[in-house]
Structure 1
Amino acid sequence: MNFIIWIVIGGIIGWLASMVMKTNAQQGIFLNIVVGIVGAFLGGWLLSPLFGTSTINSDNFSLASLLVSFLGAVILLGIVNLLRRGKMR
């Protein structure tokens, strides 16, 4: 059951991050899920030590872990935009 919740929350986080970075029209549901989960890993690696919390990948669904996962997804989309277009949106 945790796996399904992880997929759903990752999809929502990826979708929100794509709306913030204005890449929502280019992504489908599958890519939103991937961005949310990979962004949570990135957020856990970069931002967890700063905020002192884990991410959704650690089965922690608190507000702080959702924020760290969301910020990681935004950073991931920023890096992808930078590499793809040579500029950030």
Structure 2
Amino acid sequence: MRRHVHHIQRVEDSVGIIAWILIGLLAGAIAKLLLPGKDPGGIIVTMLIGIVGGLLGGWLGKVIFGVDSIDGFFDLSTWIAAIVGSLILLVLYRLFTGDRRSHRHA
């Protein structure tokens, strides 16, 4: 019986990780729509920012507000946290990489 319970928990954890990756990808796309502009790295970097931003948003929601923002894939708090986290990371990314592109010489 214990093996069965552990197997179910591993499957749920795997589904949770996949769900957060999907949420992060979509949150990154939404963040990009809210903050349009050219970013170095293109779509790959935007996707990575979305994934990490989604996780950051979930963590910040829990630490700052004491809210478990990863209650479910379809909960509004999950999506708000992921989008806010993605927006924060996108702004930080632009701050740290924006000046490098403008100072290059041909």
TM-score normalised by L of structure 2? 0.60
Contiguous gaps of at least 5 residues in structure 1: none
Identity %: 31
Partners of 1:6 and 1:40 in 2: CA distance: 7
**Aligned residue for 2:24?**
10
Aligned counterparts of 2:81 and 2:39: Cα–Cα separation in 1: 24
Gaps of 5+ in 2: 1-13, 100-106
1:52 is aligned to 2:80 = no
Q: Could you tell me which of 84, 87, 104 is aligned with 1:74? A: 87
Is 61-70 or 32-41 further displaced after alignment?
32-41
In the other structure, the counterpart of 2:47 is: 33
For residue 78 of structure 2, what is the amino acid of its counterpart? Answer: S
**In 1, distance between residues paired with 2:46 and 2:38?**
9
Matched residues in 1 for 2:50 and 2:26: separation? 7
Greater shift in the superposed pair: 70-79 or 32-41:
32-41
Higher radius of gyration, 1 or 2: 2
How many aligned positions are there?
83
Q: How far 1:31 sits from its partner (Å)?
A: 3.1
Q: Normalising to structure 1: TM-score of the pair?
A: 0.69
